[in-house]
Structure 1
Amino acid sequence: MFARRTTPWPLVALFTAGYLPAYLLPTTVGRLGTSLSLTATQAGAVGSALLLSSASAGFVLASRLPRIGARTAARAGLALAALGYGTAALTTTVWLVVAGAVVGGFGSGTATTVAATRIAAERDPHRASTMGLLSVSALAGAVYLTVPHLGPAHGLPLAAIALTALAVWPLTGRLPGGTAASPAAHETTVPLPRRRSGPVLAATVLCWSMAQNSLWGVSGRIGLTQAHLGDAALGAVFAVALGAGLVGVLAAGLLGSRLGRAVPIGAGTVLIACCIALSASATSPASFAAGEIAWNTLYPVVLSYLIGLAASLDPRGRWAVFVGSASSLGTAAGPLTGSVLSAEAGYRGMGLILGAGLLLVAVPMTAVALHTGGRPLLPGAVRRRGGTPAALVAATTGTPSGAVPEVGAAEQPVVEIPVDAPAAAVQRAYDTAGPRQAAATPGSGTG
């Protein structure tokens, strides 16, 4: 009988609250500039400070979370998010807005850290992360469609983030707590596994995320100045692109582990590189729309597999936190990188540089996915030392199903059989221990 898979809704909600600020960053930064009379560089700096604060939460809490407890950390993070973003939404004093964004960013990063750590411990981390991406994409799309009708105030997207944090708060009661005396408190002494694969994945995800957000930061200017779209048409393109992102998340959920992780990550990144080059070089509305929509369809697909891959490197979730924080750093650096590259090389040159960079990072990311092999994808699968579930090996090599014991099965005793034992003793040991134990015992041959 197969175990029934359940969706960890508290983790999905916490994931949504933590990721929502990054999804709303374009409208948040744009409204800060217009409402508070900030320059584009100043407004972008506020957004970068928010994301840097969010990333720092992951690096600070990764090793301390088992001792603090998931419930306590999640509630503290949501409280900081509600307080920080709420303060920034209700004031027009620039320094208070900046301070609120930084405090709220640390709270969002804390929520993301807890969600990533707990998702890594799930039986199917890819399913949980996919549901989280679907939730945050749907909520961000609703905000993008609603906020423009409520006025140009800078506080509207910030208020949406604060209200989301408050709405998620009641669900934290289902998260486990932690005390200094609990076994989880001693897990921080366990060394990090995958000491080579983890840093490689974190570094490449940082570059991967920076490339995505380099284009996202200047997409509006490309559409207006190079593709000759009007404001209304540009908004329609972005709305369709958000809808395509939802389709991409659903496709990732349906695809699941059928192709493993290496193929979606490697091939998906190559296709994203082509989409970025197409969008950046577009000179017509059709080509620009095609590039943006295709890119937004593929981006969440690859991201969901990267999150699942990071979760598979350490069941305690430490690599998932570090990789997520590295992704936040790349997100924070993306708008500035896109602005510099477009100013120096033009939009077309920027697209080619970003596309070439993505092709380069696709190689080590795919190599990590192939090398680690991920976590067992079948209930009862037994992991080999090399990372491949033994149940999968048995299924592909014709091994009888009885040769692979299920997890938790009682161990059979090993019976020692002397070399000179008579045939009757060998037969009795064979009948008692079973064919595999008798065959594996030294000296159990027939000679």
Structure 2
Amino acid sequence: MSAARTLPWPLVALFTAGYLAPYLLPTTVGRLDTGLPLSATQAGAVGSALLLSSATAGFLLASRVERFGARALARVGLALAVLGYGGAALTDAVPAVVAGLVVGGFGSGTATTVAATGIAAHRDPHRISTLGLLTVSALAGALYLTLPHLGPGHGQPPAAIALSALAVWPLTGRLPVRTATRTAVQEGSRLPHRRSGLVLAAAMLCWSLAQNSLWGVSGRIGLTQAHLGEVTVGAVFAVSLGAGLLGVIGAGALGPRLGRALPVGAGTALIAGCIVLSASATDLTSFAAGEISWNTLYPIVLSYLIGLAASLDPRGRWAVLVGSASSLGTAAGPLAGSVLSAQAGFPVMGSVLAVGLLVVALPMTAVALHTGGRALLPGTVRRRGGTPAAVVAASAGAPSGAVPQIGAPEQPVVEIEVDGTAAPVRPAYGTAGPQHATAGAPGPGGR
């Protein structure tokens, strides 16, 4: 069977539909304060409300996808996105526009939750999340080139998001229906790696806050500080997202070769420098350099963070919870960026955000180091299982299904009778000390 047939394209499409609203945030917020009687700060607050609604959907549904079924939840999310964003695009009444964007945001968050849960359960979550980032970057880049030519007004960005959600609807028929019983859903309900998950969620909230504080005002930086036209700013964004495509392709090609700690830590430090450059831009050259370099690095680091969250729980709960915490930061980003830039100016805002990123890079790197594991060598399976074995499972050429997944329950080792007396059953893999003579049941490495 070809690789194309084994890829979960419905999950990739759902991921794209859910992530499109944050990707189009600069033009969505920028058009609110030009097409409607809203100030820049009010428009930023509306963008924050949209993303806060999306984060709320993730927190509410993180542990309920199996109970309701991926197909049903995906269709509900897409329907809310079509109705909410479509309604916001068709009216000029500010309360109706705000309500429509909030409803659409909840739909986007629902779609993203279903996609994240399915991706985390896949045997190669980094590959699938990278492909999802690739498609959403390509779609957003095409829209940034197209929307300025469709005329002014606030309605074009939400209309594009609504149409994208509608286009994904037919693919939901290939998603699984509800198959888990109540007992199956309740089993293993305890979240693994709680401390690492909580640290990663808190760090991701701050990481996304810094990223989207700049992203939410990038359009205004280009228009007011760099003195560029809307068509030029849209072209810069399109080129930036195109560079992001190259970054995502590079991340997919590298895969786990560099581990996760180096891309997360060093990548975040480089992003901090890009933010300073973009926020202080005063002409096309500096603005384009900052935005293009930043958007090249951002999806690379994000893909590794998504993979890191997915590795903490094979049922996808940490992937959804960390993603929702990230959405909270994303939601606060436009408002925080608007307030900071209004009070201190864009260059000072960029410096503050860069320092914040350098601070949160430390705990994220620590989580990546703690949960990344080391290559599995004979006799080095840890008692708590999962992590080192999963490193081998993610390596090229490793036999699938022969090693436990991260977070998987430990398997009992049954020793076979050799002297007429059955040996007791051990609760877990042994890691040290001499072993009793056995008949050689296959170990986790398939030997």
| TM-score calculated relative to the size of structure 1 | 0.84
Equivalent residues in 2 for 1:364-403 (5 A)? Answer: 364-373=363-372, 385=384, 387-390=386-389
SS in 1 for 2:256: coil
C-alpha offsets along residues 294-331 of structure 1, whole Å, 9 cap, x if unaligned?
A: 10100000011111111111111111111111111111
Equivalent residues in 2 for 1:394-413 (5 A)? Answer: 406-407=402-403, 413=415
Task: Report the equivalent of 1:257.
Answer: 256
Equivalent residues in 2 for 1:7-26 (5 A)? Answer: 7-26=7-26
SS in 2 for 1:282: coil
Task: Report the equivalent of 1:441.
Answer: 436
Task: Report the equivalent of 1:113.
Answer: 113
Amino acid aligned to 2:91? T
How far residue 371 of structure 1 moved from its aligned partner, in angstroms, is 0.6
Indicate how the Cα distance of structure 1 residues 382 and 112 shifts in structure 2: closer, same or farther if over 3 A, else same: farther
Indicate how the Cα distance of structure 1 residues 268 and 341 shifts in structure 2: closer, same or farther if over 3 A, else same: same
SS in 1 for 2:146: helix
Contact 2:381–2:388 (CA under 8 A) maintained in structure 1? yes
SS in 1 for 2:216: helix
CA RMSD of aligned residues (A): 3.4
Alpha-carbon distance between aligned partners in 1 of 2:195 and 2:390, rounded to the nearest angstrom: 26
Equivalent residues in 2 for 1:17-416 (5 A)? Answer: 17-178=17-178, 181=181, 184-187=184-187, 190-373=189-372, 385=384, 387-390=386-389, 406-407=402-403, 413-416=415-418
SS in 2 for 1:368: helix
SS in 2 for 1:193: coil
Structure 2: gaps spanning 5 or more residues: 405-410, 422-433, 440-447
How far residue 255 of structure 1 moved from its aligned partner, in angstroms, is 1.3
How far residue 34 of structure 1 moved from its aligned partner, in angstroms, is 2.2
Alpha-carbon distance between aligned partners in 2 of 1:22 and 1:368, rounded to the nearest angstrom: 26
How far residue 233 of structure 1 moved from its aligned partner, in angstroms, is 3.8
Indicate how the Cα distance of structure 1 residues 139 and 232 shifts in structure 2: closer, same or farther if over 3 A, else same: closer
Task: Report the equivalent of 1:436.
Answer: none
Contact 2:372–2:391 (CA under 8 A) maintained in structure 1? no
Indicate how the Cα distance of structure 1 residues 393 and 354 shifts in structure 2: closer, same or farther if over 3 A, else same: same
How far residue 112 of structure 1 moved from its aligned partner, in angstroms, is 0.5
Indicate how the Cα distance of structure 1 residues 177 and 293 shifts in structure 2: closer, same or farther if over 3 A, else same: same
Amino acid aligned to 1:123? R
Alpha-carbon distance between aligned partners in 1 of 2:115 and 2:390, rounded to the nearest angstrom: 29
Amino acid aligned to 1:414? I
How far residue 346 of structure 1 moved from its aligned partner, in angstroms, is 3.0
How far residue 415 of structure 1 moved from its aligned partner, in angstroms, is 3.7
Higher CA-based Rg: 1
Out of 69-78 and 230-239, give the one that drifted further: 230-239
Contact 1:84–1:103 (CA under 8 A) maintained in structure 2? yes
Alpha-carbon distance between aligned partners in 1 of 2:265 and 2:119, rounded to the nearest angstrom: 23
Indicate how the Cα distance of structure 1 residues 184 and 290 shifts in structure 2: closer, same or farther if over 3 A, else same: same
How far residue 98 of structure 1 moved from its aligned partner, in angstroms, is 1.5
SS in 1 for 2:192: coil
Contact 1:414–1:441 (CA under 8 A) maintained in structure 2? no
Contact 1:62–1:321 (CA under 8 A) maintained in structure 2? yes
Out of 269-278 and 155-164, give the one that drifted further: 155-164
How many residues are paired up?
A: 416
How far residue 376 of structure 1 moved from its aligned partner, in angstroms, is 9.6
How far residue 63 of structure 1 moved from its aligned partner, in angstroms, is 1.9
SS in 1 for 2:181: coil
How far residue 224 of structure 1 moved from its aligned partner, in angstroms, is 4.0
Indicate how the Cα distance of structure 1 residues 249 and 214 shifts in structure 2: closer, same or farther if over 3 A, else same: same
How far residue 52 of structure 1 moved from its aligned partner, in angstroms, is 0.8
Contact 1:192–1:314 (CA under 8 A) maintained in structure 2? yes
How far residue 365 of structure 1 moved from its aligned partner, in angstroms, is 0.3
Indicate how the Cα distance of structure 1 residues 356 and 407 shifts in structure 2: closer, same or farther if over 3 A, else same: closer
Alpha-carbon distance between aligned partners in 2 of 1:393 and 1:294, rounded to the nearest angstrom: 33
Aligned identity (percent) is: 74
Amino acid aligned to 1:32? L
